[in-house]
Structure 1
Amino acid sequence: MLRSIRSSILACAVLGMLTPLCALANTAAPPVTAPETAALKGAVPTAYARLRVWGFEVYDARLWTLPGFGASKFEQQPFALELKYLRQLEGAAIASRSIDEMRRVGTFTEAQEKSWLQAMRQLFPNVDRNDRITGLNWPGKGVEFWLNGQRLGWVQDPVFARLFFGIWLDERTSEPKMRLQLLQGLAP
């Protein structure tokens, strides 16, 4: 009987010591702030959404948003879109595909297309697996691009920013399931 009581006390003591450790282990860690999202103080990342094209995995995307972010007016709010590449791609191909997708969500002139394509080709490097390109939306200003925590540069044009981020966030996107995944849990 005494042995049983001692065992129970020991078990309670061990559980008592482990309970705080278990609670710490189950606590969500705060998001890691990369240099590119540091200016968005308080931004929280969404879960990743994966882009697959013809069975090939291309990238994982996620948004970094501030409290109160509303999807219907995304262009009017600061946020970041991070793309983590799952394969090698040429920067020029990324730029060309971006123009094609921007055309799907809005209209622009040939002069705008030429200017934007040139800017993206200068900014977007060839990427390898696990490279991250992050675009920050600065309302009324444009898009600031980063690669793996290193600043690439700007496209200072709010129309470009709206159409570029519209590739993922506009209702006319070619990837509506990805859009829903990115916006899950955020205000409409």
Structure 2
Amino acid sequence: MWSSSCSRRPEMARVLRLAMLAGLLAGLLVGAPCHAVGWRDELPQAVALGSGDLRWLGFRIYHATLWAGQRPFQPERPFALQLRYYRNISRERLVQASLDEMRRLGRANVDAATLTQWESKLTRAFTDVAPDDELIGVYAPAHGMRMYNRQGLLADIDDVPLARAFFGIWLDESTRDQGLRSKLLGTAP
């Protein structure tokens, strides 16, 4: 009796390992998102319209690139804004800087409850960044926006007013950095 059960142990262990592996794979597949793997999957025909660096007090903060499927830029159509960072910036600082700029542009002229919701959505969408990290925002008309990093989707935000206010930081006619806006739109000399 003992000898027959010992001879089956390696086979049983192999079957158990295979079953555990199958369970792990099934769990990964069931939990996998149903949307695009990366931002380029959303905008396969997009080309870089323009790019430039944001500087503050002479320090480079990030390199921005505007991607769209058509020239000239049409803000009512899907587009992506890719930011590649030169410095360490916390998620909290990114969120507060974004909200401050939206307020300054008058885009965040909303009630306190909405502003709190926007802060919560942006906090879930952003990550801390380090040099060479990227955050990519994709504007989806009639939906809102999706935020990505190099690993994939960070957040799907179903909020058109927030998306418009957010992308206005760079693309609004009253943006703080007119030179960067012109470079992004491809209109800089």
Is the pair's TM-score, using the shorter chain for normalization, greater than 0.5? yes
Give unmatched runs, 5+ long, in structure 1: 1-33
Which residue does the alignment assign to 1:29? none
Report the Cα distance in structure 1 between the residues aligned to 2:64 and 2:134, rounded to whole angstroms.
9
- Give SS of 1:100's match: helix
Which residue does the alignment assign to 2:65? 62
Offset, 1:41: 2.3
Which residue does the alignment assign to 1:95? 95
Report the Cα distance in structure 2 between the residues aligned to 1:94 and 1:85, rounded to whole angstroms.
11
**What CA RMSD, in Å, does the superposition of the two structures yield over aligned residues?**
1.7
Partner residue of 1:120 out of 111, 119, 122: 122
Task: Tell me the TM-score normalized by structure 1.
Answer: 0.75
Which residue does the alignment assign to 2:177? 175
Offset, 1:38: 2.1
Give unmatched runs, 5+ long, in structure 2: 1-36
Which residue does the alignment assign to 1:104? 104
Which residue does the alignment assign to 2:79? 79
Which residue does the alignment assign to 2:153? 151
Amino acid of the structure 2 residue aligned with 1:88: N
Report the Cα distance in structure 2 between the residues aligned to 1:70 and 1:128, rounded to whole angstroms.
30
Q: Kindly tell me the number of residue pairs found equivalent between the two proteins.
A: 150
- Give SS of 1:118's match: helix
8 Å CA contact 1:62, 1:81 repeated in 2: yes
The C-alpha deviation readout for 1:12-42, integer Å capped at 9, x for no partner, is: xxxxxxxxxxxxxxxxxxxxxx931222121
Following TM superposition, the consecutive aligned residue runs of length 4 or more in structure 1 with deviations greater than 6 angstroms are none
8 Å CA contact 1:61, 1:84 repeated in 2: yes
Which residue does the alignment assign to 2:9? none
Offset, 1:155: 1.8
8 Å CA contact 1:37, 1:64 repeated in 2: no
